Amino acid sequence: MLAGIHGHLREVLIPTERWDAIEVAEDIDAMAARAGQVNDGSLILMPWRERAGAQQLATGGFRQRVEVQFATGIVIREYDTFMGGERALRFDALKADVEQALAGWEPPGGIEPCELIGGESSPVTKGVSIFVQTWATARFLTGA
């Protein structure tokens, strides 16, 4: 599912001139490390967590709904020009792009559209900040 989300974000965001790259990180530590290395206007996509519900079929077969959460980290790298309020405004424009790309879109293999859970910003290093949003969708796990 993450590959489909990555492909969709690349397809939608990269053609705009605001975005440099869409990358994938394996976990929060890798996302934080990568945020200090990527160019301004990069997005880092990361799997977050999965939560499974009860198995739904009582008379044979197996089907379980799984909530899939993932995070998108928007990186701003500016050393001279942007200060606090200006960075917030810059995040706003990039955040709007991501929200437009994901909100209501259903990934391949998904059974529900993406919805925003929340987000927050954080400094990474001097001149580098990241705004991370958590998103959720769902899929079915099926078996015998």
Distance (Å, rounded) from C-alpha 30 to C-alpha 39? 16
Q: Which two tokens stand for residue 79?
A: 């050393």
CA dihedral 34, 39, 41, 42 (to 10 degrees): -40
Read off the pLDDT band of 4 (50, 70, 90).
very high
CB 114 within 8 Å of CB 103: yes
**Per-residue pLDDT tens digits for 75-121:** 998 765 556 677 778 889 999 999 999 999 999 999 999 999 999 98
Q: Report how far residue 22's alpha carbon sits from residue 29's, in angstroms, rounded to the nearest whole number.
A: 17
User: Which carries the bigger pLDDT value, residue 144 or residue 10?
Assistant: 10
Q: Which domains does the chain have, with CATH numbers?
A: 2-143 (3.30.2000.10)
The kind and range of the H/E element at 6 are helix 2-13
Q: Quick one: which of 82, 71, 97 has its CA closest to 128?
A: 82
- Assign 58 a pLDDT band (cuts: 50, 70, 90): low
Contact status, residue 39 vs residue 20, Cβ threshold 8 Å: yes
CA 126 to chain centre: 23
Task: Write the DSSP symbol of residue 66.
Answer: E
Interval 74-84: pLDDT, tens: 999 876 555 66
Summarised one tens digit per residue, pLDDT across range 19-55 is: 999 999 999 999 999 999 999 999 999 999 999 888 8
Residue 78 pLDDT: 74
Q: Give CA separation, 20 vs 17, 40, 54, in Å.
A: 8, 7, 41
